[in-house]
Amino acid sequence: MPGIRSYGAYIPKYRLGPETAGWTYRGEKAVANFDEDSITMAVAAGTDCLKGLDRSLVDGILFATTTPPYLEKQSAALIATALDLRRDISSADVTNVLRAGTTAIRMASEAVESGHAKNVLVLAADCRMAAPRDPLEPSLGAGAAALLISSEDVAAEIEAVHSVTENMLDVWRSEDDTFIRSWEDRFVIEEGYLRVVPEAVKAFLSKQNLSPKDFQKAIYHSSDARRHGQLARMLGFEEGQVQDPLYGQVGNTGAAFPLMLLVAALEEAKAGERILVAAYGDGCDVLSLRANEKVEAMRDGHRGVKAHLESKRILKSYDEYARWRELMPTAAARRPAPAMPSVSALLRETDKNLRLHAVRCKQCGYRQFPPERVCVKCQTRDQFERERLSDVPAEVFTYSLDYVAGTPDIPLVIAVINFAGGGRMLCMMTDREVEDVRIGLPVEMSFRKLHTVGGIHNYYWKSTPVRA
């Protein structure tokens, strides 16, 4: 029976909270940095999920989101490249609906159950935005989750799945919209969410001859914390059975929301416990999972949701967030605009720029980055093995601060970093506090967006202080 072999998550470091000047709400919400989007967050969650695993085992990748950076171009292919997966794998984007994450789980489990794949990586990430001061704004957060659906070494089996499809124009975003739109609140809640989810869950329980008391944890979509509690009573779940929806800490992360809560539940699950997951959006997906004796061992080495919740920084002002997400006009940088990336160069330098491959000399063992044909130590030519640096720890060798750079996050920190085991790289540093930057600072690599020119999102790897 297919199930979850490994999990990962990612929550941005920065939050809007009560200490943020201009933020008038009591709770916190996770917000993406200016160089983050659904693709970069998915790469971070996937990296967390694949820790300690041979990446060549992954046979397919599914990416679920409602906020893809490209309207016509597959995001899953870019994510697979950044994660350094094999080329001979299947890939697909599952987009445009909030239950895309659970739909991707169902697709992955069916592929595994049919024998077409042994391991399928499911990623979900979203960075949905409401207009400033919109009632939806405090409820929307940014984040990502990753699940490796497998036929072997399973720690939580997928017991059953049930789906309902119903066209509902309650929340939407058209091609030219920056912010999500919604219809009148009572209609959205009563005719959509509070009608469709209970119908789907009750039909699933009846079909499987189960009741709410058979589940130790219940995970389901909601528009806000109040409606989340209301639905629990309608479904018959006690307070202790309901997984914390993380409102006031992270917020609703769209397509990633049910998967992130599932990761949080698995971080505390015990063998034999059942978990119910219900995702809403133009219908409803309902899943039942059961943890086994491997669930505790699965937690080793993963940050998951818990570690990311504990590692955070509250923004000083709402204006800083508004600049990051381009919600307010800013003065143009006093330097030439970046040139449009060369598509042929992007393809030619994929291994260096996206996979972050270095080379190690077969003769003397010296590792160098960027890859060259001649070893700088022993001058041997074309005798190298490729090595991935994206998950190798590093530390700052030296750095500089640029206060006139064209970046929303001044000063721009440029660092020279040394990788453990050899190799040196010049790169930008992100998610940093200037007062903490120092020589010897432990850093890790993070896939980020450099800029967008001519409709091309130019991605690269930056360093970031290790999140404790």
pLDDT tens, position by position, for the chain (468 residues)?
899 999 999 999 999 999 999 999 999 999 999 999 999 999 999 999 999 999 999 999 999 999 999 999 999 999 999 999 999 999 999 999 999 999 999 999 999 999 999 999 999 999 999 999 898 999 999 999 999 999 999 999 999 999 999 999 999 999 889 999 988 888 888 888 899 999 999 999 999 999 999 999 999 988 888 889 899 999 999 999 999 999 999 999 999 999 999 999 999 999 999 999 999 999 999 999 999 999 999 999 999 999 999 999 999 999 999 999 988 877 766 777 778 888 998 999 999 999 999 999 999 999 999 999 999 999 999 999 999 999 999 999 999 999 988 788 889 999 999 999 999 999 999 999 999 999 999 999 999 999 899 999 999 999 999 997
* Distance separating alpha carbons of residues 256 and 279, to the nearest angstrom: 10
Write down the pLDDT at residue 38. 98
Q: CA 358, CA 197: separation in Å to the nearest integer?
A: 49
What is the maximum alpha-carbon separation in the chain?
72
- The pLDDT value recorded for residue 407 is 83
Q: How far apart are CA 412 and CA 319, in angstroms?
A: 18
pTM of the model as a whole: 0.96
pLDDT score for 190: 85
Indicate the Cα dihedral angle 325, 329, 335, 341, nearest 10°: 40
Question: Encoding tokens for residue 165?
Answer: 């499809």
The number of C-alpha atoms within 13 Å of 40 and in the hemisphere containing its C-beta is 24
Asked if omega into 411 is within 30° of 0 (cis), the reply is yes
| pLDDT confidence of residue 457 | 94
Beta strands 29-30 and 14-16 are: antiparallel
Class of domain 3-324: alpha beta
Encoded tokens for 317: 């002002």
Q: Which segments of the chain belong to CATH 3.40.47.10?
A: 3-324
Reported residue count of the chain is: 468
Tokens found for residue 312: 């955070």
pLDDT for the residue numbered 147: 98
First-to-last C-alpha distance (Å) of the chain: 36
Please give the angle made by the CA atoms of 389, 457 and 254, to the nearest 5 degrees: 90
Q: Which ranges in 148-297 belong to alpha helices (H)?
A: 185-186, 194-208, 225-235, 257-266
